[in-house]
Structure 1
Amino acid sequence: MVKAAVLGAAGGIGQPLSLLLKTCSLVHELALYDVVNTPGVAADLSHIATPAVTTGYLPADDGLQKALEGCDIVVIPAGLPRKPGMTRDELFNKNAGIVSALITGVAKWCPKAYVLIISNPVNSTVPIAAEVLKAHKVFDARKLFGVTSLDVVRASTFTAEIVGEKDPRKLTIPVVGGHSGDTIVPLLSQTTPPVSIPEDKVAGLVNRIQFGGDEVVKAKDGAGSATLSMAFAGYRFAEAVLKAHSGETGIVEPTFIYLPGVPGGAEVLKQVGGLEYFAVPVELGPGGAVKATNPLIAASEAEKKLLEVAIAGLKGNIAKGVEFVQASSAKL
């Protein structure tokens, strides 16, 4: 029996993500938590004819504790969305406190659960989550994931458009680095099966993968950011974790992880200037991350230049997250 929780379940990402999890045959109990509207969202979803029993909780009456107790997997899309002209990094001060509080709840009430961080900026919120879990002495790097699947989904979708592939799902493209702007590095040279991208299209394709979120923000004209595609990508990664948890083998997904705590991570760490957090393809198993793979050694010269830019950006993002928790450690 698997219990899943969505923290931030009433939001633009949280609602469609909760809908997808309600339809997942691997989920038997679905707990929804947010500061508003979760009982209504849960009631709505409970009418759907699938086995997962759905409940909704608010902060009152120990709602967070009730949502998290007994959880096997916690997905966190909670936080404020980007507005036009706002970068993910600008969201930091607003969302850092939200993530810290929610992860404190995880540390107290379901410390062994898989934790999937969607809340932006992921490059900083994952280090925040790790530091909070460390402070509570329950940190397991194999079970903490920054969800970068939307970058992977965009990479396959946008590449398929250029090469004429009707089904983007047939293309596998490793996307490494982080989850914002030029910290996102699609390794197009390692697309499986191999594709031929016109040379004059590569730079534009890379830029679109890196800044696809801006495309959605602009198109929504102030009404939101990438919520539906992010919900799809978040569910894709959650389903992969649950399939691996159930014993399915051979599952590999790129994700933003704490390299020193994952087998194979040390090799990647040496290549990224000592960065402790980096997104690489990770093999998943019943205990979470089984092995981090290292596609960086086969990067093209152009991709190595992109990696240099990504590494420089990630250093500041990661430090910001760690420093936030250290500055507020007395509150943990």
Structure 2
Amino acid sequence: MKVTVCGAAGGIGQPLSLLLKLSPYVTHLALYDVVNAPGVGADINHIDTDVVVSSHLPQDDGLQMALTNADLVLIPAGVPRKPGMTRDDLFAINAGIVRDLALAVATHAPNAMVLVISNPVNSTVPIVAEVLKKAQVFNPRRLLGVTTLDLVRANTFISQLSQGKLSSKQLNVPVIGGHSGETIVPLFSIGSPEFYQSLNDEQRDALVHRVQYGGDEVVQAKKGAGSATLSMAYAGFQLAERLMKSAHGDNESAKYASSFIYLDDRIPGASYAKEKLGVDYVSLPTVIGAEGIESIDSSILDKIDEHEEELLEVAIDQLKTNIAKGVSFIKGTAA
């Protein structure tokens, strides 16, 4: 498969590109960024795997070359928040970057699977969808926002809390909603019911809060000089690998994945989720096949406990605003 990373020289892009260079499913890895892509490409090209690496900058139609014939496109591009920059400032910059990359995907790789990592995912996925809709190449089965890090954190944190009684590798805690703060709803009552029920209210609330704001831990540990780049790269690769496995017919091991998706009525399970939640986009467990999303496990919404219901109500209220912000950005600007 040809896999393209847009934003390959960034904090997430570099480790993500490294992981993709090690994958047996990748034949051609195309690295694109506005700066430093050749340096990253030269570095990982010394790794002794058979993956062909090409590096591209904006000049000489670099983005077109990186995207042409791509089977899978990952978008971690964007800028980190800097001192004095408001969240609105950050959104305007990253939204513009994602919009331009989405337009390039629509033009040069309209059939590619697209994984959006650039934050805020709750808004950037709708941005990509709106651009692809305008270009009349939108396939809701092939656009996924990467929320895998929330699942990785949920499994890790409850394992740590159990002091070794639960192995994170044996856990599968579903996380639904969105990919920021209170929009993140970990379903410990489903993923680890016995241990979760043994916790008191204070422990339970602290565990949920840690998953919702796990990124803050990393920012504080890096003393404000960075964010969760390595774990995010791992999470992005994990979802990409599941998609690549499915594309190669390995459906049994790659079957289930959660991601932030558009609830298209043609996808089994989407209509029920849309009716129950009242949003067009949400993160839910999905069944992944060779062509992308095969179905959505919306039945999970009927299995959550009372406390998680309350968390989900808060999440949906915030999600509606986040989604509308992304949609309005495209409808209010020329893509």
1:32 is paired with a residue whose SS is strand
Letter of the structure 1 residue corresponding to residue 61 of structure 2: D
Pairing 1:12-161 to 2, within 5 Å after superposition: 12-82=11-81, 91-161=90-160
CA positional deviation for 1:231: 0.4
Deviations 1:35-66 (A, max 9, x none): 00001110111110111100110000000000
- CA-CA distance at 1:81 after TM superposition: 2.1
State the shift of 1:289 in Å.
0.2
Cα distance change of structure 1 residues 100 and 210 upon mapping to structure 2, 3 Å threshold: same
1:299 pairs, out of 296, 304, 309, with: 304
Shift of the alpha carbon at 1:83?
5.1
The CA deviation at 1:94 is: 1.5
Query: Mind listing any 5+ residue stretches in structure 2 that lack a counterpart?
Result: none
Paired letter, 2:102: I
Superposed, which structure 2 residues align to 1:317-328 within 5 Å?
A: 317-328=322-333
User: Structure 1 pair 130/182, CA: closer, same or farther in 2 (3 Å)?
Assistant: same
Q: 2:45 & 2:293 partners in 1: Cα distance?
A: 32
Aligned-pair distance for 1:195? 3.1
What stretches of structure 1 of length at least 5 have no aligned partner?
none
How much does 1:167 deviate? Answer: 3.1
The 1:194–1:242 alpha-carbon spacing in structure 2 relative to 1, beyond 3 Å, is: farther
Checking the alignment, whether the CA contact within 8 Å between 1:17 and 1:231 is kept in structure 2 is yes
Q: CA RMSD in A?
A: 1.6
Structure 1 contact 84–218 (Cα < 8 Å) conserved: no
* 3-state SS in 1 of match to 2:251: coil
Do the aligned residues in 2 keep the contact of 1:171 with 1:193 (CA within 8 Å)? Answer: no
Q: TM-score, normalised by structure 1?
A: 0.95
1:242 match: 244
Aligned to 2:257: 253
1:6 counterpart residue number: 5
Residue identity matched to 1:258: Y
CA gap 1:242/1:318 in 2 versus in 1, 3 angstroms: same
C-alpha deviation, 1:164, in angstroms: 2.7
Q: Deviations 1:248-276 (Å, cap 9, x if unpaired)?
A: 1241111000012532111111111x200
Q: Deviations over 1:274-303 (max 9, x none)?
A: 200000000100000001002111110000
- 3-state SS, counterpart of residue 260 of structure 1: coil
Shift of 1:223: 1.1
Q: Which amino acid aligns with 2:327?
A: V
How far off is 1:91 after superposition?
2.9
Shift of residue 88, structure 1, vs aligned partner: 6.7
CA positional deviation for 1:89:
6.7
SS for the counterpart of 1:195 is helix
Query: Shift in Å at residue 314 of structure 1?
Result: 0.3
Q: What's 1:179 paired with?
A: 179
Kindly indicate whether the alpha-carbon contact (under 8 Å) linking 1:3 and 1:28 is maintained by their aligned counterparts in 2: yes
Deviation by residue 1:210-236 (Cα, 9 ceiling, x = unmatched): 000011111111211100000000100
Deviation, structure 1 residue 139? 0.1
Deviations 1:180-231 (A, max 9, x none): 0000000110015853441231100000000000111111112111000000
Q: Distance in 2 between matches of 1:156 and 1:81?
A: 27
Secondary structure of 1:25's counterpart equals coil
Comparing 157-166 with 310-319, which one deviates more in the overlay? 157-166
Q: Aligned partners of 2:18 and 2:90: how far apart in 1?
A: 26
